[in-house]
Amino acid sequence: MRSAPFTLLLSAFLCAAGCSDSGDGDGGETTGSGGATGGTTSGGTTSGTPSGATTGSGEASASSGATTGSGDTTSASNGATSGSGGATSGSGTGGEGTGGSDGTGGGASARVPAASASTLREAGEKANPPLLIGAAISGGGLGNNDYKRVAAAEHNYVTAENEMKWDALEPSAGNFSWGSADNIVNWARQNNMKVKGHTLVWHSQLPGWMSSMTGKANVEAAMRRHITQVMGHFKDRLDHWDVVNEAVQTDSDTGVGNPRMRPTVFYNQIGESYIDLAFQIAREQDPKAKLYYNDYSIDARNDKVEFVYNMVKGMVDRGVPIDGVGFQMHIGPPNNEAGGADVAANMKRFTDLGLEVLISEMDINRCGGVVTAEEQLTYYHDIVAACFKEPKCTAVTFWGINDGRSWLNSWSGALCNGQSSQSLLFNDQYGKKETYNRVMNALLGK
């Protein structure tokens, strides 16, 4: 466990989970689009660049993590794989076939596990109510046959790791680029996997033209156009969306100290009502879609989740169309740690508001020796079990497939310095790790 002083020290230097823009290449993303404006209070400014540079390690790589050369550098060819992206037909395989676990479970009855299962996906599909088993998928990863095989065999729910972020979809104002995202969505549908759109409104990986925009009316209009165009493009293929991501910050990335709205271009120009507005616009686009708020270090009780709880409760009370909350569940440096019982109690408060909850980006970082191997195994089991036991917890998504491709490896905030974060369920050769077994046990109710 991380000690409190260490946490504070760490948090003084490190940047938020979402501010990494680490440019690991697999998303073909532009590196830290907001970075140029770092240090100001406008959007995108929480880019890791300025604070990363002050971590004292003095390493050049602290600037963006882009030079650390993880396995992801091999996947930088994402753009090249998008050649067939124009094929948007998707052939009607119906990602919906993943089992209707959209149902929020209703009632207080516990989820009933499958008697047995040979994949995580099967365990999720055979549970009653079913539980979606997700993974962050990168365009680069889909260039690797082992990656594709494991991803499709073990999961039935996909989040594009970078390809549906603002800078990927609308790199210049009003000009949309769909190829890389369509590739992932089409691959998912071919494999009967559902897709969650990630993410419509976020301060990070936001192109410079957007993060530097001024004027309430301008920002509102740009936000409306983006949400409308993006949801319109994927309509009939996607009905789950992270509408707003990481709108709240604290002094520490662990979710401790002075919780407040993050000063993004949206908040600075529109005010806090931008969040309600984003959900309202999304609802206008798709009356049936599941609309989620998503954030990190809100996984167990702390200052940040108190603030988020009150924010979300206010939305529910005002009738804002929000369906659920995604707990990113990035455990370990620089983010929070959370035990299973705490996660369960925290989820319950949100489900008591009538909302779904999701584990939306789970990984457990071993770098820096903050989380031990044994703790990691316990966390994986207990946290997934907390979701499994809560019928209104509708999905568990892991943030990647195998250790070698984890975003943490190349992000300076994660303390890996080029080492593997050992954070996921599959090793570099795509073999199952003990973390996989613990997750499987949790999904079988063991």
Distances (CA, A) of 11 to 4, 225, 237, 336, 435: 10, 36, 40, 10, 27
Which residue type is seen at 127? Answer: A
The per-residue b/e assignment along 204-243, b for 16 or more CB within 10 angstroms, e otherwise, is bbbbbebbbbeeeeebbebbbebbebbbebbeebbbbbbb
3-state secondary structure at position 414: helix
Binding mask 124-163 for ligand XIL (x = CB under 6 A): -------------------------------------xx-
Instruction: Tell me the residue nearest to ligand XIL as measured from the CB.
Output: 407
Cβ at position 389, least distance to ligand XIL in Å: 25
Q: Look up 246 and say whether it is catalytic.
A: yes
Among 27, 95, 113, 139, binds ligand XIL (CB under 6 A): 27
Of the pair 17, 312, the CB lying nearest ligand XIL is at: 17
**Residue 168 and residue 29 in contact, taking contact as beta carbons nearer than 8 Å:** yes
| Interaction pattern, residues 234-273, with ligand XIL; x per rule: CB under 6 A | -----------x----------------------------
Query: Is 18 or 391 the residue whose CB approaches ligand XIL more closely?
Result: 18
DSSP 111: P
Torsional sign, CA 238, 391, 137, 300: positive
| Sites for ligand XIL among residues 328-367 (CB under 6 A) | 328, 361
- Active-site choice (29, 161, 220, 246): 246
Residue 241: helix, strand or coil by DSSP? Answer: strand
- Least distance between ligand XIL and beta carbon 420 (Å): 15
Question: Taking the chain, what is the end-to-end CA distance rounded to the nearest angstrom?
Answer: 25
> What is the smallest separation between the CB atom of 204 and ligand XIL, expressed in angstroms?
7
Instruction: Convert residues 268-297 into a mask of x (bound to ligand XIL by CB under 6 A) and - (unbound).
Output: ----------------------------x-
* Binding-site member from 11, 22, 144, 421 for ligand XIL (CB under 6 A): 22
State in angstroms the smallest separation of the CB of 165 from ligand XIL: 7
Half-sphere exposure of 140 (CA within 13 A, CB side): 24
- Residue 17, interface with ligand XIL (CB under 6 A)? yes
Nearest approach, Cβ of residue 25 and ligand XIL (Å): 8
Q: What is the C-alpha to C-alpha distance for residues 294 and 134, in angstroms, rounded to an integer?
A: 15
Q: Which residues share a beta bridge with 294?
A: 245, 326
Strands (E), 231-300: 240-245, 248-249, 260-261, 290-295
Which CB, 114 or 261, lies closer to ligand XIL? 261
Stretch 393-412 residues interacting with ligand XIL (CB under 6 A): 407
Residue 333, both tokens: 């440096």
Quick check: 390 binds ligand XIL (CB under 6 A)? Answer: no
Whether 280 and 222 have beta carbons less than 8 Å apart is answered as: no
Q: Which is nearer to ligand XIL, 120 or 362 (CB)?
A: 362
Dihedral sign, CA of 5, 245, 325, 151?
negative
CB closer to ligand XIL, 17 vs 440:
17
**Could you give the string, one character per residue 55-94, with x where binding to ligand XIL holds by CB under 6 A and - elsewhere?**
----------------------------------------
Q: Note whether 233 and 285 are within 8 A (CB).
A: no
Piece in contact with ligand XIL (CB under 6 A), picked from 23-31, 347-355, 414-422, 427-435: 23-31
Single-letter code of the amino acid located at 149: R
Which of positions 156-185 make contact with ligand XIL (CB under 6 A)? Answer: 161-162
Compute the distance between CA of residue 61 and CA of residue 292 in angstroms, rounded to an integer: 34
Report whether 151 contacts 141 (CB < 8 A): yes
Question: Least CB distance from residue 373 to ligand XIL, whole Å?
Answer: 23
- Single out the segment in contact with ligand XIL by CB under 6 A; choices: 18-26, 78-86, 101-109, 230-238: 18-26
Which of 170, 337, 361, 390 is catalytic? The answer is 361
Q: Which residues bind ligand XIL (CB under 6 A)?
A: 17-18, 20-22, 24, 26-27, 161-162, 245, 296, 328, 361, 407
Residues designated as active site: 246, 361
